Structure 1
């Protein structure tokens, strides 16, 4: 299928709040809105959309990340769990055969050809075999034979059932070994959702509630800071009163609604790592450089650990430590996390843990004869470490559940030989991701997930998640930097890779779930809908909060997905004004920070750089954009 040409990456002129130099008083002062904030213009012919949706990352080389996978031999079947210590089985979990020429798009049910009403339709992408459904004839591209009278009656009956149901598309799915059926609605997955909030029990398991009107308005936008080199600005948090974002040599708190600067925490150097977790009273921790960059020292060491009170805008304490591996030199840290009142930091030079309240040193990993060190920690409800031992060329990774108070191992699991890096997806339950045998060659660093009993260190199940089929990602070298994945309800929720939808053009995907005890795909899925793609952001109780990346002519959406039925409830639909779309589309879901809390969405950069010389003055770049339904 021929794809239309891609529109230019640069946003059009007259856009969404042009970036301005920060006003006196430091970076982060809100940009005053112009009289016409969005630069509205008379309707024009919309640009032709690119494959994969507007604002997606540049197209990778053939066979790279996001490329449509070839169909596996033998079609798809029920996945089998892998026994501990055994390599994963080759057939993909729930993965369908590619459609033959002349059939409907990838992942759509296949109808019987005219004159053969007895054939059962096939299920869609990543979906277990379902019981027999009412049969219908799928439209044939380019025309085809007319329906027989018998088939017209069948189609009419199916349409009538759908209309009686109320417009939702219902499907039944295999519920596992028991054969129970989970009935779920994909209503809202067709890219709609404008207007009133979704009905039903989709939000029963969480705290987020659908507003009376899901149409969002622009909250505020913060200008792209002026820098002369690539600068890390990772780190963003939301409290009950403030949105907090890492800036240049500072961390700034902004009013949730207006974006006005409420406070600033100056730092001696740039932030190197930030915890994604907060305490209940809004305290968190960061790692930052020992000084500012100079001509003599362009890259100061990341040796300073600091605790932040986000409610008051104060740096509670900061310090560095030494270790037996680094002699008298301060340890360089690359990662930081928080579990309860314990701040844990790690890196190739060693690790350490501190009390969040006063910075008292709690423990440091001890040196041993096997050259072991703590690569990094996963925090949240519990604390886990990825510990690396042995030589650089022949490492051995050990996953340990730790007592946060003293760092004592509660259990240990040894990863398969040849695994050089691992990412902690969740600490309770303990789930780890890794690229086993370097089979994930798309840059995702994920080929398998390991569900581990944190109490005993025994492997519960190893789940094969072929990187050609599933789109979860982890940083290759950092322990707690996995994204596009969520864990809850004893399930692992992952998005499928984008694939061809059922429309004339545009890709789509789904969110599916694996059982963390059996390793099998569970019945049900959440469909993004034509030209949309779904990315899980976090759990909300038993529900999944997900972002829907839109096509070129629409705004993005936030949906809540029931973790059992996969029913979707729309929480937010962003404006589709051209200038607003361009601002939202300038952030990639793969490389930006997305936070949704209580009717507000904040999208921010993790890294900024000096504008290229080819950029025009009309190019709009933002550090943060926000949307609100409250």
Structure 2
């Protein structure tokens, strides 16, 4: 589970506000010469430069005990590495999508995968061989798991020759729901075309552009000191919302009537060099207007916030001063930061169908972390679960079902922020199962400190869906291309569910979200094909292609600028939007065209 490092933040938040380019984004403009998509022809392929030789691949498969003594590689944001892999060529390890602004890599002799942007340290060759053999045996035999008993002790169990069905329960009646119940259906023609694209605006420094949302009619994306709403089918600009500063944080949750929430920089206070992330607002995606904007005092100035969510009709924010919340409809303050005498505070919240707090108490270096489902109107906890010792940060994967990820004792060792998943009863606070997810085997990822910023993982229908790390394909030697699988675990017992979704040689799968009891996943393609959006049936693991992107080189190269871990991917009813979260000064080493966003669709 490798996490791309983030650049250091400027003092006081996101740095000095950047001026938008002349004219702003305006209506989406056709790409200049050398762009992609009809009617402009694509540019000739650039000769890439060869990457450095990567280390050997880690083992993969069902979970084993986390490797002892591995140091944690995450913590404070780091500067992005200088080289960007593309989709890959035969014999080239698939390394994800890389970082914006990096050159495309050159095909090379087959090697193992890189350590990844999270700084993962590979095991020795002997360990790799043994672990790979064990992993294959476990996949055939049904897997190994450990669940948390009433006494809180880990219990190792194994099971082979299971009679359970593909849905994880006998005759589909136990161990979680079967698949189905989703709204996404494959169109008659799944082939997509580029609907529109917006070039990256010129900036003089690193600029955060967090936030993108997709409804039935509108795709909205944050830019430089603004948010712009586009017609999701035509690309015409519907509205533009200028802001006094950058969008510091944005929730992915959107209500049924198109409301969401953001945090943005307020005006610079007297004597301050940088603006601060103090303004909390509700955004109406249909009109592009802020329904309300509020802030709270922290001593003699406004409190700063790092993250925001929406759950149960409440907008909740988290920061170093503690949590605060407002009514989504009216903007009424429901509660505000309060640090108790025992140094307890809400560090942040998970939203969606419910509202769940991550509460921290005690010493900064050795805190007590508690998970609390809340009454969203009062903030009163309905239940409470105390995380194990050694957890500094907890991440909400889902509020219904309630699933939490954490790196216990800094044992993940790969910068992913995850060594274990915790399935919790949201009514009683009882731990249902603790599911180990060693970082060298699984590719889910959570931001090092934020409560609600996990990628490549999904939970629903009684199951947790996690992708494995990439490994050699059927050929076993790199020539067949790197690949991975999505595996599932029963949230009631922690048991691995028989079956898997295979990406296929040269491809890899990353869960994006749930759709009923099915999983919507992004499939990264081999070097000569286009990426896909697929629906993975939660019972049978059967994959249905919902959208097939063009295999044209110019389109594939453009889409390679975005990825599940560091870009924003939004899919709904035959439309896919991929966008950047961080803009950087144009490189003088390449003339590669950079994009703020790209939209594709089957319509």
TM class, shorter-length: 0.7 to 0.9
Shift of 1:63: 10
Q: Is the Cα–Cα contact under 8 Å of residues 166 and 540 in structure 2 kept in the other structure? A: no
Shift of 1:67: 5.6
Name the residue aligned to 2:398.
426
The separation in 1 between residues aligned to 2:206 and 2:531, in whole angstroms, is 28
The separation in 1 between residues aligned to 2:428 and 2:41, in whole angstroms, is 57
3-state SS of the aligned residue for 1:582? helix
1:476 to 429, 448, 454: 448
Q: Deviations over 1:187-222 (max 9, x none)?
A: xxxxxxxxxxxxxxx984211110111111111111
Q: Is the Cα–Cα contact under 8 Å of residues 322 and 339 in structure 2 kept in the other structure? A: no
Q: Is the Cα–Cα contact under 8 Å of residues 230 and 237 in structure 2 kept in the other structure? A: yes
Alignment pair present for 1:37 and 2:40: yes
3-state SS of the aligned residue for 1:386? strand
Alignment pair present for 1:341 and 2:313: yes
Shift of 1:286: 0.4
Q: Is the Cα–Cα contact under 8 Å of residues 146 and 156 in structure 2 kept in the other structure? A: no
3-state SS of the aligned residue for 1:470? coil
The separation in 2 between residues aligned to 1:549 and 1:211, in whole angstroms, is 20
Name the residue aligned to 1:138.
none
The separation in 1 between residues aligned to 2:389 and 2:329, in whole angstroms, is 40
3-state SS of the aligned residue for 1:525? strand
Q: Is the Cα–Cα contact under 8 Å of residues 118 and 415 in structure 2 kept in the other structure? A: no
Alignment of 1:576-595 (within 5 A): 576-595=551-570
Name the residue aligned to 1:400.
372
Name the residue aligned to 1:361.
333
Q: Is the Cα–Cα contact under 8 Å of residues 38 and 580 in structure 1 kept in the other structure? A: no
3-state SS of the aligned residue for 1:492? strand
Shift of 1:80: 3.4
Structure 1: runs of 5+ lacking an equivalent:
1-20, 95-127, 132-171, 183-201
Structure 2: runs of 5+ lacking an equivalent:
1-18, 49-87, 103-113
Name the residue aligned to 2:597.
624
How many aligned positions are there?
A: 511
Q: Deviations over 1:359-418 (max 9, x none)?
A: 110122543221011110000000000011001122110110100011011111111112
Structure 1 residues 345, 62: closer, same or farther in 2, change over 3 A? closer
Q: Deviations over 1:225-260 (max 9, x none)?
A: 111121111110012211000111111101112322
The separation in 2 between residues aligned to 1:566 and 1:405, in whole angstroms, is 39
Q: Is the Cα–Cα contact under 8 Å of residues 167 and 179 in structure 2 kept in the other structure? A: no
Structure 1 residues 41, 363: closer, same or farther in 2, change over 3 A? closer
Structure 1 residues 48, 514: closer, same or farther in 2, change over 3 A? closer
3-state SS of the aligned residue for 1:338? strand
Alignment pair present for 1:243 and 2:285: no
2:25 to 13, 27, 42: 27
TM-score, normalised with respect to structure 1:
0.75
Name the residue aligned to 2:498.
523
Q: Is the Cα–Cα contact under 8 Å of residues 352 and 363 in structure 1 kept in the other structure? A: yes
3-state SS of the aligned residue for 1:461? strand
The separation in 1 between residues aligned to 2:274 and 2:254, in whole angstroms, is 28
Structure 1 residues 179, 438: closer, same or farther in 2, change over 3 A? farther
The separation in 1 between residues aligned to 2:249 and 2:573, in whole angstroms, is 26
Quick check: 510-519 or 356-365, which moved more?
Answer: 356-365
Alignment pair present for 1:463 and 2:435: yes
Shift of 1:317: 1.4
Shift of 1:622: 0.5
RMSD of aligned residue pairs (Cα, Å) = 3.1
Name the residue aligned to 2:300.
328
Name the residue aligned to 1:105.
none
Shift of 1:25: 3.6
TM-score, normalised with respect to structure 2:
0.78
Name the residue aligned to 1:534.
509
Shift of 1:29: 3.1
The separation in 2 between residues aligned to 1:532 and 1:611, in whole angstroms, is 30
3-state SS of the aligned residue for 2:301? coil
Structure 1 residues 88, 443: closer, same or farther in 2, change over 3 A? farther
Alignment pair present for 1:277 and 2:277: no
Structure 1 residues 350, 219: closer, same or farther in 2, change over 3 A? same
The separation in 2 between residues aligned to 1:309 and 1:573, in whole angstroms, is 31
Structure with larger Rg: 1
Q: Deviations over 1:149-204 (max 9, x none)?
A: xxxxxxxxxxxxxxxxxxxxxxx97776859899xxxxxxxxxxxxxxxxxxx984
Quick check: 51-60 or 389-398, which moved more?
Answer: 51-60
Shift of 1:284: 0.8
Name the residue aligned to 2:93.
51
3-state SS of the aligned residue for 1:580? helix
Q: Is the Cα–Cα contact under 8 Å of residues 553 and 576 in structure 1 kept in the other structure? A: yes
3-state SS of the aligned residue for 1:81? strand
Alignment pair present for 1:495 and 2:467: yes
3-state SS of the aligned residue for 1:587? coil
Q: Is the Cα–Cα contact under 8 Å of residues 318 and 347 in structure 2 kept in the other structure? A: yes
Q: Is the Cα–Cα contact under 8 Å of residues 145 and 156 in structure 2 kept in the other structure? A: no
Name the residue aligned to 2:184.
208
Shift of 1:265: 0.9
Name the residue aligned to 2:108.
none
The separation in 2 between residues aligned to 1:317 and 1:460, in whole angstroms, is 40
The separation in 2 between residues aligned to 1:280 and 1:173, in whole angstroms, is 35
